[in-house]
Structure 1
C-alpha cells in the first residue's frame, strides 16, 4: 500500500516533534468492518505513519463492533474515531478530544497540533477561559463539523480540543461533514466550520475568537 505521507511531510513532522513534543501521547483508534466506513483503512494507515515518527507516540487500535469495553470506556459511537490522550506509563488520561472521520487536508494540521498540545499537558488558553471551563457543572458536548478543504476549520477544532483539556465536563468532537453527512444534515450544517453545542442548544458558525466561543457556551447553558 502506498504511503499517505511523503518524505517531505514526514521530515517536517519529525522536526516539529523533535523540537516540541514533550510528554508521551496515546492515539486510540476505533475502526469498523462495516461497508459504510469510507476511510477507516486510510485513517488507520495515517495514524500508523504518524505514530512511527516518534517513540513518544503510541497507537492502540480497536474494533467499534467488537471491543465493547473500550467503546464504552471512551464513549465513541461511530467510526473512524480517534482519541488523543496523555500517556504516563500504563495510565491514560482522556481529555475528551475526539476525531470522527479522517483528519486529512487541512485537518492533518489539527491532528499534529493536538498531539503537541496534549504532550504539553497544558491547553494554552487564557486564564479567564480556564477559570470558566473548570467551573462547569453541566456537561458540554461540542461537535465541530469540518471538511478537509476548509482552511479555517483547524482553528475551531484546535480551540475546542484545548477547551476539552481544561474540563472533565466538556468533550469536543471534530466531525468530517462529508463522511457523516446525515449528522451534518441533522444540525443544519451549510458551511464549515459549524459547531453544535449540546445537541442544538447552541451554534457557532465560523472560526471565532476564544471569548466569543465562551460566550456562546454560556448562552447555551443559560448562564
Structure 2
C-alpha cells in the first residue's frame, strides 16, 4: 500500500513531534466507510514516526467505542487523550488532511504538554469560567488555508473548560449536515449551547476571527 506521508513529510513530522513531553492516545471511532480506512492508515503511519503516539481503533458498534462521547452520524471520529486517558473533548470528524493535518500535530503536542497558547491570560480566564455546556463546530475543507486557525481555537477552548467540546467537521465528507447548517464558505464556526438536553444554536460566523473577536463571539453565545 502506498504511503500517505512521503519521506520529506515524515522527516518534518518527526522533527515537530520532538516537542512531545508525554505520550498521547489517539482514539479512532470508525465504520465500514472508505474515509475510516484512510484515517486509520494516516494514524498508523503517524504512530510509526514516534512511539509516544498510541493509536486505538474501535468500530462504532463496539463496547470500547461506547465508553467515548462522539457523534455517531459523523464517522470517522478522532479523539485526542492524554497519557492518563483524560479526554479534552477535541474531536475531528472526517479526515484531518491537507491544512488540517497541521492542526492535528499541534493538538497532539498541546495535549502532550498540556499547554494552551492560543489565548492571552485574560481570555483564558474568560473561557475557563464559562458555566454552560457548549459545542463549537468548525466546518472546514482540506484546501482552506484559514481553517486551521479556527479549528485550533475551538480545540484549545475545549482544553480550557470541561463543559466545552471543540469539533472539526470536514464539510465535503458530511454534505447533509453542512447543508443543514447552511455552510457555504469555510471556515464556518457554529456555537451551540445545550438547553433541556438539546443543542441550540446561539451564534455563528464565517472566517478565521482574531483572538479577541473569537472570544467575544463565544461569550456572546453564552450570555
TM-score by length of 1: 0.92
TM-superposed deviation, 1:75: 3.2
The residue aligned with 2:46 is 50
Post-superposition CA distance 1:155-196 (Å, at most 9, x none): 101111111110001000000000011111111110000011
Q: Which runs of 4+ in 1 moved over 3 A?
A: none
The gaps in structure 2 that reach 5 residues or longer are 193-199
Q: Which moved more, 1:209-218 or 1:147-156?
A: 209-218
Deviations 1:80-136 (Å, cap 9, x if unpaired)?
11001111xxx3010000000001111111111111111110111211121112211
Match of 1:99 among 80, 92, 102: 92
Q: Which residue does the alignment assign to 1:74?
A: 69
Is the CA contact 2:130–2:222 (under 8 Å) kept in the aligned structure 1?
A: no
TM-score relative to the length of structure 2: 0.92
Q: Distance in 2 between matches of 1:22 and 1:69?
A: 27
Out of 156, 173, 176, the position equivalent to 2:170 is 176
Residues matched between the structures, number:
214
Q: CA RMSD in A?
A: 1.3
Q: Matches of residues 1-150 of structure 1 in structure 2 within 5 Å?
A: 1-18=1-18, 20-33=19-32, 37-64=33-60, 66-77=61-72, 78-87=74-83, 91-124=84-117, 125-150=119-144
How many Å separate the matches in 2 of 1:144 and 1:68? 28
Distance 1:183 1:75 in 2: 15
Moved more, 102-111 or 127-136: 127-136
Gaps of 5+ in 1: none
State the partner residue of 1:164: 158
